[in-house]
Chains A and B, each alone.
Chain A
Amino acid sequence: MAILQIKNLHVSVDTEQGSKEILKGVDLTIRSGETHAIMGPNGSGKSTLAYTIAGHPKYTVTEGEILLDGENVLEMSVDERARAGLFLAMQYPVEIPGVSVSNFLRTAKTAITGEAPAIRPWIGEVREAMSNLKMDPGFTERNVNEGFSGGEKKRHEILQLELLKPHFAILDETDSGLDVDALRVVSEGVNRAKTAKGFGVLLITHYTRILNYIKPDFVHVFVAGKIAEEGGPELAERLEAEGYDRYVKA
């Protein structure tokens, strides 16, 4: 049983007008096996939370802490966080020219587990995961994210999630830019990985659509850098009906 705790988290970014506070005291606890949906309007700081957990250098934590099984995540480098079991599925994954998907996946797996995977079982594992995500086998010969469509990028992120088997998966607007078929395939991938590994999920989304496929245990409404309301799955249904206006106007 792993536990990820976020306590009174304040985060700033540097802008041309000086430092700007984006997160203004976030408290959140996620345990293995739990799925938490973070919902909120654009600009509320949802993605900032995701990238801060992963350790993006653009964000400065000014107050508060993030603990993974009691260990101080904020003292870890980006790669140490990943090796400790945190995985961020990115909204805008970057291109790495000249680096093939197969080389990238093997390098990442080796880094996470500390040893190179045995070739034959590894190739089998990659093939099976790709087949589940309805990805063409030739995909592994392409360069990482180079010329990928929006759907291919998201599948590639979830492929990594399935193969790297983290303790916590943070999904940053994984549903954006996907049609319903692709959304179903990607969601099934998340559910499959979760069943296999039993990890905790932090699902960041603007829309309730993905929650038809990935069922949340908890829903947190994010407004202006803070959690404005929390509840069970029924809160998502209410948001579906009423939208965010109630929070934004308040």
Chain B
Amino acid sequence: MTEAVIRPGSTAHSHGASEIPLQTRSERLRSSNPADHVAIDGRDEQWRYLDAARLAGLDVNVLSDAAGDLAFTGPNEFSFELVDATDPLFGTAGLPEDLPSANGWSAAAKAAKVTLNGEASEAAILKVDGIKRDRAAHIIVTSKVHSRGTVVIDHTGDASLAEIVEIIVGDESELTVVSIQDWDSEAVHTSAQFARIGRNAKLKHIVISLGGKTVRVTPTAEFTAPGAEVELLGLYFADAGQHLEHRSYVDHAVANCKSRVTYKGALQGKGAHTVWVGDVLIRKAAEGTDTYELNRNLLLTDGARADSVPNLEIETGEIEGAGHASASGRFDDEQLFYLQARGINELDARRLVVRGFLNEIIQKIGIESIETRLNESIEHELTRSIN
């Protein structure tokens, strides 16, 4: 089903001549065929914060398949193969909701497929390093029944990449997927990540965006059976001129599932821009849903901008809980004063405050090598902001 299309519903209505009609989240067009998608338009909610010019042509250029250039390493519990559209999982977790993803989908004939077969104590790593310009990649990560383990997708070097990641979480399994965007400064990256969660399964999805000129990650989690849990975590650090955008969507389509979305970011420098849009849909059938989403941004300097938009659509009142919180604040000078009054110099004081702010996410990652690398990156960013 590589060409399936779900058309927008007819309930959408216009708010004025210059605006594209708002839809309820579930009615957004889904199609793997680029021809089904309209050109990127700033009046469309999906693109209101990101200028198409920043996408380096990922929406319109002819892209080449990068699946063969990805490097996999992992313990025995994992298997890795290149598959095509005949694979039974191909296209089952989700379909593109925007033009770059559809463009990437149609250019990537192969998919790099990682399968978790047992309980793995060590993480598997899929490296996407220096794959250069106008590339497309389709990745499938799946966990078998009762399996447990972690897959890290590590993006480094220079690239312009339209990526699709399908995550199929098997019944009763526990899967952690970490997507690290640690690109060189000119890289451009869109990544549509679709997760389908099985019965009583758990997914921990972690997005870490540090490097790259433009990074847009759109994680979607869809529950398919009761008793499942997802935790969507995100951490980002934007410097001058960087645009880091994250749009999460949790679709509570069935009863008795739980979701937590926690994204935190720090920004510094002129033109540093971050966007977080958190959609949660609780459908009529999703009684007993428990959901909470939170986004916090820390602006370290003037000239940076953080957009933060939680959206909660609730179609049933029979739920456990549904909440959201969003706040963006400037660096607190009183915190700085307190720490300095204890002899701690300004750089160390800022370091403590920013690390403290981001700790809530870092502590939840649970993978020591990544925590160390993150601490080093944050250190590097902060040293730059002081000098």
Residues of A within 8 A of B (CB): 54-57, 77-79, 81-83, 87-88, 90, 93-99, 103-104, 107-108, 111-112, 143, 160, 164
A109 to B343: give the CA distance in the assembly, Å. 8
A81 to B343: give the CA distance in the assembly, Å. 7
Chain A residues whose CB sits within 8 angstroms of the CB of B344 once the complex forms: 79, 107-108, 111
Q: Is the CB of A79 within 8 A of B345?
A: yes
Q: Is the CB of B355 within 8 A of A79?
A: no
Interface residues on B, range: 20 to 34
Binds A, one of B79-87, B159-167, B184-192, B329-337: B329-337
Which chain B residues (317-358) contact chain A, with CB distance < 8 Å?
A: 332-335, 337-346, 348-349, 352-353, 355-358
Give A198 Cβ to nearest chain B Cβ, in Å. Answer: 20
Q: Quick one: closest A residue to B362, CB to CB?
A: A98
Q: Quick one: closest A residue to B296, CB to CB?
A: A97
Chain B residues whose CB sits within 8 angstroms of the CB of A96 once the complex forms: 335, 338-339, 352-353, 356
Give B382 Cβ to nearest chain A Cβ, in Å. Answer: 14
A111 to B343: give the CA distance in the assembly, Å. 5
Within the complex, which residue of A54, A77, A94, A107 is in contact with B335, where a contact is CB–CB below 8 Å?
A: A94
Q: Is the CB of A111 within 8 A of B355?
A: no
Q: Is the CB of B334 within 8 A of A79?
A: no
Q: In the complex, given contacts A95-B335, A160-B342, what are 15 additional A-B residue pairs having Cβ atoms less than 8 angstroms apart?
A: A57-B337, A77-B346, A79-B346, A79-B349, A81-B341, A82-B341, A96-B335, A96-B338, A97-B356, A97-B357, A98-B357, A98-B360, A104-B342, A104-B352, A108-B342
Chain B residues whose CB sits within 8 angstroms of the CB of A56 once the complex forms: 337
The winner among A81, A111, A160 for most chain B CB atoms within 10 A is: A111
Q: Is the CB of A111 within 8 A of B345?
A: yes
Answer whether residue B359 sits at the interface, using C-beta atoms and an 8 A cutoff: yes
13 A-B pairs whose Cβ atoms sit less than 8 Å apart in the complex: A81-B341, A82-B341, A83-B343, A96-B352, A96-B356, A98-B357, A98-B358, A99-B359, A108-B344, A111-B342, A111-B343, A111-B345, A164-B343
Within the complex, which residue of B343, B353, B356, B359 is in contact with A108, where a contact is CB–CB below 8 Å?
A: B343
Chain A residues whose CB sits within 8 angstroms of the CB of B355 once the complex forms: 98-99
Q: Is the CB of A98 within 8 A of B356?
A: yes
A77 to B345: give the CA distance in the assembly, Å. 9
Chain B residues whose CB sits within 8 angstroms of the CB of A94 once the complex forms: 332, 334-335, 337-338
Chain A residues whose CB sits within 8 angstroms of the CB of B348 once the complex forms: 107, 111
Chain B residues whose CB sits within 8 angstroms of the CB of A104 once the complex forms: 339, 342, 352
Residues of B within 8 A of A (CB): 332-335, 337-346, 348-349, 352-353, 355-360
Give B114 Cβ to nearest chain A Cβ, in Å. Answer: 33
Q: Quick one: closest A residue to B264, CB to CB?
A: A98
Q: Is the CB of B343 within 8 A of A99?
A: no
A53 to B348: give the CA distance in the assembly, Å. 22
A164 to B338: give the CA distance in the assembly, Å. 14
Give B350 Cβ to nearest chain A Cβ, in Å. Answer: 12
Within the complex, which residue of B335, B338, B359, B360 is in contact with A90, where a contact is CB–CB below 8 Å?
A: B338
Q: Is the CB of A99 within 8 A of B356?
A: yes
Chain B residues whose CB sits within 8 angstroms of the CB of A82 once the complex forms: 340-343
Give B170 Cβ to nearest chain A Cβ, in Å. Answer: 35
Chain B residues whose CB sits within 8 angstroms of the CB of A54 once the complex forms: 337, 341
Give B341 Cβ to nearest chain A Cβ, in Å. Answer: 5
A160 to B335: give the CA distance in the assembly, Å. 16
Q: Quick one: closest A residue to B336, CB to CB?
A: A78
Within the complex, which residue of A78, A99, A160 is in contact with B340, where a contact is CB–CB below 8 Å?
A: A78
Chain B residues whose CB sits within 8 angstroms of the CB of A103 once the complex forms: 352
A191 to B161: give the CA distance in the assembly, Å. 65
Q: Quick one: closest B residue to A97, CB to CB?
A: B356
Give A191 Cβ to nearest chain B Cβ, in Å. Answer: 22
Give A139 Cβ to nearest chain B Cβ, in Å. Answer: 17
A55 to B339: give the CA distance in the assembly, Å. 12
Q: Is the CB of A79 within 8 A of B343?
A: yes
Q: Quick one: closest A residue to B333, CB to CB?
A: A57
Give B262 Cβ to nearest chain A Cβ, in Å. Answer: 13
A72 to B105: give the CA distance in the assembly, Å. 67
Give A64 Cβ to nearest chain B Cβ, in Å. Answer: 21
Q: 3 closest pairs, A vs B, by CB? A: A98-B356, A98-B359, A78-B340
Give B374 Cβ to nearest chain A Cβ, in Å. Answer: 14
A137 to B338: give the CA distance in the assembly, Å. 23
Q: Quick one: closest B residue to A160, CB to CB?
A: B342
Q: Is the CB of A143 within 8 A of B356?
A: yes
Q: Is the CB of B339 within 8 A of A88?
A: no
Q: Quick one: closest B residue to A79, CB to CB?
A: B340
Q: Is the CB of B338 within 8 A of A93?
A: yes
Chain B residues whose CB sits within 8 angstroms of the CB of A160 once the complex forms: 342
The winner among B340, B343, B345, B353 for most chain A CB atoms within 10 A is: B343
Chain B residues whose CB sits within 8 angstroms of the CB of A93 once the complex forms: 338
Chain B residues whose CB sits within 8 angstroms of the CB of A164 once the complex forms: 342-343
Q: Quick one: closest B residue to A54, CB to CB?
A: B341
A83 to B353: give the CA distance in the assembly, Å. 20
Give B279 Cβ to nearest chain A Cβ, in Å. Answer: 27
Chain A residues whose CB sits within 8 angstroms of the CB of B335 once the complex forms: 94-96
Chain A residues whose CB sits within 8 angstroms of the CB of B345 once the complex forms: 79, 111
Q: Is the CB of B359 within 8 A of A78?
A: no
A164 to B339: give the CA distance in the assembly, Å. 13
Q: Quick one: closest A residue to B345, CB to CB?
A: A79
Give A166 Cβ to nearest chain B Cβ, in Å. Answer: 9
